Amino acid sequence: MNAASPNLKPLTARKSGPLQGVTKVPGDKSISHRALMFGAITVGETIVSGLLDGDDVLATAEALRAMGADITKGGDGLWRIFGTGLGGLRSPGKPLDMGNSGTSTRLLAGLIAGHPITATLTGDASLSKRPMNRVIKPLAMMGATFESENEGLLPLTVTGSPDIMPIEYRLPVASAQVKSAILLAGLNAPGRTTVIEDHPTRDHTERMLRHFGVDVQVKDNKDGSQSISVIGQQELQPCAVDVPCDPSSAAFPAVAALINEGSEVRLSRICINKRRTGLYETLQEMGADITYKHTRTESGEKVADILVRSIGKLKGVTVPPERVPSMIDEFPALAMAAACAEGTTVMTGLAELRVKESDRLQMIAEGLTACGVRVETGKDSLTVHGTGKPPKGGATVKTAFDHRIAMAFLVLGTASDQPITVDDSTAISTSFPNFRTLMEDLGAVIG
Ligand code: S3P
């Protein structure tokens, strides 16, 4: 899509005043993808509540249906999956359209790799630029074959192997998608498949596999890394999955509350898995009043209600690079908080942000600059100079079909002196379809 496309839907946010209320953001995107995938390879009925109905997750559901899983959503909001059993997926009769979803693409590549089937994965303009070699390399070592017209990019044809082999693989980049793709392929391999992580990434695959009755082993190594192993050819047991709400989506109303004086917002049932909460930790270091209430464990994941109160100015901080994987999707939201904070916020170790739904370092820097914020970027770093109050705004910001860039700048627009318009809001439905109404219910002026 380009700026002249008639399909663009610009959206504007205006100075809103205090945000107030109790709200529930949609289900966690990572957990929703995995619930569908694991249900699809289980014999019997898996019932999922709280699944995210976003475009990315719907792309996963559609692909799994095309490979033989029976997946329906009932009038009661529950999703019911009758899977094919481990090894039972079949070749789809058509290319699988992954839309904007990197998680669908990379995890399904792993699942397909362990089946004697062939599938072609396609995606939109943004996904078609994202690197797939990171999954192609280990899955090819296991025995799958790949064809791509554009070296390592979509469209990508994956042919799985009936004799998929277990491997031990050290991740060259911190990526839960790559880890999960290998473990999913390993489910069909004889023996032990091991992924070694130098930097811990989200562990929803490991937790949910255990919830489905699979033995997953995690070992701390002497060099500080962790080895995650699965023994293949274990049948998954059908179960109920209650998907908690998404901390990455909650980031947007949370930051909006913090930058609008006098706000108090309660975000219910958020997944507070410690590999996902780096943003909240960072905001607390910036002086934010954020507390977890009613902490409990549901379907193998820790959840809590998050209470966010704006009690004064945020302060700029330096984010430790080792925290990056636990807040990898939250830098657009954090950058908006940093733009309103007093002092400089320094973020390093962000190379992966250049290969997300857009080059997020560039999109954040261009957008903030247009809104009157002083910003510097490096190859893998971002520095934001806040002045202790919301910036001028008054700009139209480019989003490059990136949902999180669009939501982040709309959040900033609720506090900036002049309105902020995003050139396109359509991508928001990939992860947070009711973003606008939820924010409006809290008092944000958007539209
Ligand atoms: C995800 C992992 C992360 C994250 C993405 C979801 C997952 O990607 O950015 O939104 O569900 O495993 P990487 O594995 O590329 O870091």
- pLDDT tens digits, one per residue of 34-65: 999 999 999 999 999 999 999 999 999 999 99
Atom of ligand 1 nearest to the CA of 33: 11
What pLDDT is attached to residue 367?
99
CB under 8 Å to 222, separation ≥6 — which residues?
none
**Residue 441 exposed, middle or buried by CB count within 10 Å (0-12, 13-18, 19+):** middle
> Which is more confidently placed, 3 or 152?
152
Report d(CA 253, CA 411) in Å as an integer: 8
- pLDDT tens digits, one per residue of 314-331: 999 999 999 999 999 999
Ligand 1 center to 329 CA (angstroms): 8
Atom of ligand 1 nearest to the CA of 356: 9
CB under 8 Å to 279, separation ≥6 — which residues?
247, 251, 254, 327, 330, 333, 334
Query: What is the percentage of the chain residues whose pLDDT exceeds 90?
Result: 98
The letter for the amino acid at 232 is: G
Residue 6 pLDDT exceeds 80: no
Mean of pLDDT over the chain: 97
- pLDDT tens digits, one per residue of 154-166: 999 999 999 999 9
- pLDDT tens digits, one per residue of 117-148: 999 999 999 999 999 999 999 999 999 999 99
What pLDDT is attached to residue 97?
98
Q: How far apart are the first and last CA of the chain?
A: 22
Residue 3 pLDDT exceeds 60: no
- Test site for ligand 1: of 29, 30, 324, most ligand atoms within 8 A of the Cβ: 30
- Retrieve residue 86's tokens: 């481990």
Architecture of domain 11-27+244-446: Alpha-beta prism (3.65)
Which backbone phi and psi does 264 adopt, to 5 degrees? -150, 115
Distances (CA, A) of 220 to 171, 197, 228, 333, 374: 15, 10, 9, 32, 42
Ligand 1 center to 325 CA (angstroms): 9
The answer to whether 240 touches 229, Cβ cutoff 8 Å, is no
Q: What pTM was estimated for this model as a whole?
A: 0.98
- Retrieve residue 110's tokens: 């792993």
Kindly state the helix (H) or strand (E) to which residue 155 belongs, with its residue range. Answer: none
Residue 2 pLDDT exceeds 60: no
Nearest CA to ligand 1 atom 4: 329
Beta bridge partners of 384: 345, 375
Kindly tell me the sign of the dihedral angle through the C-alpha atoms of 16, 339, 3, 55: negative
Q: Of 278, 366, 290, which is closest to residue 329 (Cα–Cα)? A: 278
Say how many C-beta atoms besides its own lie within 10 A of residue 8's C-beta. Answer: 16
- pLDDT tens digits, one per residue of 50-107: 999 999 999 999 999 999 999 999 999 999 999 999 999 999 999 999 999 999 999 9
Distances (CA, A) of 266 to 199, 274, 292, 367, 442: 31, 19, 10, 28, 10
What pLDDT is attached to residue 5?
59
Q: Is 359 helix (H, G, I), strand (E, B) or coil?
A: coil
Ligand 1 center to 417 CA (angstroms): 34
Nearest CA to ligand 1 atom 13: 175
- Retrieve residue 329's tokens: 């999707």
Q: Is 290 helix (H, G, I), strand (E, B) or coil?
A: strand
The answer to whether 445 touches 418, Cβ cutoff 8 Å, is no
Atom of ligand 1 nearest to the CA of 178: 14
**pLDDT-derived band of residue 416, with 50, 70 and 90 as boundaries?**
very high
What pLDDT is attached to residue 1?
43
Ligand 1 center to 387 CA (angstroms): 32
Nearest CA to ligand 1 atom 16: 175
Q: Looking at domain 29-242, which of 3.65.10.10, 3.40.720.10, 3.30.300.180, 3.40.190.10 is its CATH number? A: 3.65.10.10
Residues annotated as part of the active site:
329
Report d(CA 358, CA 194) in Å as an integer: 31
Dihedral-angle region of residue 143 (phi above 0 means left; psi in -120 to 50 means alpha; beta otherwise): left
Residue 209 pLDDT exceeds 60: yes
CB under 8 Å to 447, separation ≥6 — which residues?
11, 12, 436, 440
- pLDDT tens digits, one per residue of 247-275: 999 999 999 999 999 999 999 999 999 99
Residue 338 pLDDT exceeds 50: yes
What pLDDT is attached to residue 7?
86
Where exactly are the structural domains of the chain?
11-27+244-446, 29-242
Residue keyed to tokens 């949609």: 26
- Retrieve residue 84's tokens: 């094919």
Protein residues with CB under 6 Å of any ligand 1 atom: 30, 103, 175-177, 180, 202, 328-329, 352
- Sequence-ordered alpha helix ranges (H) in 41-121: 55-66, 102-113
- pLDDT tens digits, one per residue of 181-199: 999 999 999 999 999 999 9
Ligand 1 center to 330 CA (angstroms): 11
- pLDDT tens digits, one per residue of 273-299: 999 999 999 999 999 999 999 999 999
